[in-house]
C-alpha cells in the first residue's frame, strides 16, 4: 500500500446548519445578491420615470445637446422650467438605460455601495 492514502482526522466537531451559517458569515441567497437588488432598483427607476416621460423626449434631447457642458443639476432645472417634469423623468430613465447597457446601472451602483457598507465586499448585501 502507498502512504498517500487519505487519512481522516482523529477528532472532529459536528456543526449544525445554523452554526454553519454563522461561521460562513450569514445566509447568501438569490434575494440578497447585488445583481438581484440592483436589477430591482433599476426596474423601479425605469418604471417610475419612464412612464411619465414618453411625450417629451424630443424636447429633452434638444436641451441636453444645448447644455451638454453644464452641470446635471443646472440642465435639469432648465428642463423643468421649459419642458416640465416629464422631461426630468426622461433624463433619469435615459441615464439608467445607458448605464445598464454599458454594464453598470444606478441600481447596481447602489447595491454595490450597500455591499461595501456591510463590511464584506462579497457580492451579497448584508449576507
Please tell me the predicted confidence (pLDDT) of residue 70: 47
Q: What is the DSSP letter of 61?
A: H
Dist CA 109 CA 26 (whole Å) = 22
Confidence of residue 25 (pLDDT cuts 50, 70, 90): low
Mean pLDDT of 95-112: 75
pLDDT in tens, 72-86: 666 567 667 766 666
Alpha helix ranges (H) inside 1-127: 17-24, 34-50, 57-66, 72-82, 85-101, 106-117
The parent domain of residue 81 ranges over 53-117
Residue 89 lies in a domain: yes
Residue 122 C-alpha cell reads as 462579497
Residue 104 lies in a domain: yes
Q: Pick the more confident residue, 10 or 110.
A: 110
Cβ contact 121:115 at 8 Å: yes
Residue 113 lies in a domain: yes
Dist CA 34 CA 105 (whole Å) = 12
Cβ contact 33:124 at 8 Å: yes
pLDDT of 36 higher than 70: yes
Residue 100 lies in a domain: yes
Q: Total structural domains in the chain?
A: 1
Residue 88 lies in a domain: yes
Amino acid at each position: 500500500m502507498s502512504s498517500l492514502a487519505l487519512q481522516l482526522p482523529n477528532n472532529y466537531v459536528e456543526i449544525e446548519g445554523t452554526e454553519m451559517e454563522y461561521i460562513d458569515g450569514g445566509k447568501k441567497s438569490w434575494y440578497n445578491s447585488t445583481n438581484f437588488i440592483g436589477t430591482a432598483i433599476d426596474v423601479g427607476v425605469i418604471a417610475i420615470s419612464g412612464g411619465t416621460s414618453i411625450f417629451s423626449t424630443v424636447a429633452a434631447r434638444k436641451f441636453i445637446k444645448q447644455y451638454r457642458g453644464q452641470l446635471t443639476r443646472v440642465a435639469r432645472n432648465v428642463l423643468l422650467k421649459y419642458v416640465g417634469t416629464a422631461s426630468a423623468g426622461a433624463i433619469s430613465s435615459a441615464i439608467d438605460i445607458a448605464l445598464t447597457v454599458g454594464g453598470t446601472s444606478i441600481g447596481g451602483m447602489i447595491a454595490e455601495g450597500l455591499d461595501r457598507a456591510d463590511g464584506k465586499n462579497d457580492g451579497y448585501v448584508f449576507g
